[in-house]
Amino acid sequence: MRRRVLVFFTLTHFLFSFNSISQLNNIEDGFISEKSIVIYSFLNKDSVTEKIFNLHNKLSYLGLDVVNYIDSLNTQTSNEISNNLVQYLNSREVKNTILFSEKNKLISFYGLGFFNQQKENPRLMISGDSVFNKLKNKIINSKTKQKNFLLPPKPEVLFKINIKPFGRILRKPDTSKDKIGIITKINTELPENIIQIEEKEDYRFYFSNGINYIIHFYTGTESFIQKTFNLKNLNPTSNKKTTILVLEHTATRNRFFYFNPKYNEKEDLLLGFLSN
């Protein structure tokens, strides 16, 4: 599952940062009317609610059955969140993944396999000015029949993802004598007790090799991380991009969360955590 999620992260980053993507000419009959989730990326974080509402109206007008919306940042927060998101979408019988980038004037359609397959070609990709008019023409030319005539009147945004209960470490533990593994590549010199490791699904591998803790970095909107993990020191209404450090015990799986608004880079966040 780790490889599949990492591939999803790479594809999402590519589609939301690439500035010139050609259009595909073929629409597979009927797919576009299936239930969908929209992964959005807006330029202005201060008017997200209004932008989502306008986007929902445009897609509903075209007959698209959008079940949920989620910020692109929040699909990359952690493997746990990505896996639970896929389970949730399956329970809602969602079939389509729609990526919308305001910056790149891009809208693209994938199956739900976009999240968990190594490669999946887009079913439809449209970019440039008047992207919704182009999409309208594609739908008309494909003679797609609408399957659901009771479309959601308002956009349903995923502000959090339900995760399994976990133990919480309330005070920062003294880890100076513990062996700590870090999966993320860090471009700074690390203390001797912190080593770069490969990610494993079975944490017994770490514990049996003397690794007491694992360090993760979670990135997403501040409000999404706050609501998902119930963190008191984060703003539940902020759409600002935020990164936190998570120290997880390899035996108990209990977690300690560290956040400092002064640090934007993972290296600075790690150094701040180690110095406090």
Domains, the chain, ordered by start: 2-142 (3.40.50), 180-275 (no CATH)
Handedness of CA 89, 111, 48, 56 (dihedral sign): negative
Burial class (CB in 10 A: 0-12, 13-18, 19+), 126: buried
Q: b/e per residue, 137-171, with b = 16+ CB within 10 A?
A: ebbeebebeeeeeeeeeebebbbbbeeeeeeeeee
Alpha-carbon distance of 96 to 229, in angstroms, equals 27
Centre a 10 Å sphere on the Cβ of residue 238 and count the other Cβ atoms it contains: 15
Of 238, 239, 243, 235, nearest to 264 by C-alpha is: 243
Find all residues with CB under 8 Å of 232, minimum gap 6, and list them.
Answer: none
User: What pLDDT, on a 0 to 100 scale, did the predictor assign at position 164?
Assistant: 92
| Backbone phi, psi, residue 56, to 5° | -65, -40
Pairing of strands 213-221, 180-182: parallel
Note the helical H segments in 155-215: 204-208
| Model confidence band, residue 99 (pLDDT cutoffs 50, 70, 90) | very high
Handedness of CA 253, 259, 265, 271 (dihedral sign): negative
Token pair for 245:
């450090």
Alpha-carbon distance of 33 to 64, in angstroms, equals 6
Find all residues with CB under 8 Å of 125, minimum gap 6, and list them.
Answer: 21, 22, 23, 24, 106, 107, 108, 109
| Model confidence band, residue 115 (pLDDT cutoffs 50, 70, 90) | confident
pLDDT at residue 268 tops 90: yes
pTM: 0.86
Chain mean pLDDT for the chain:
86
Cβ(126)–Cβ(109) under 8 Å?
no
Token pair for 212:
């007491």
Percentage above 90 pLDDT, the chain: 64
Cβ(243)–Cβ(272) under 8 Å?
no
User: What pLDDT, on a 0 to 100 scale, did the predictor assign at position 201?
Assistant: 84
pLDDT at residue 10 tops 80: no
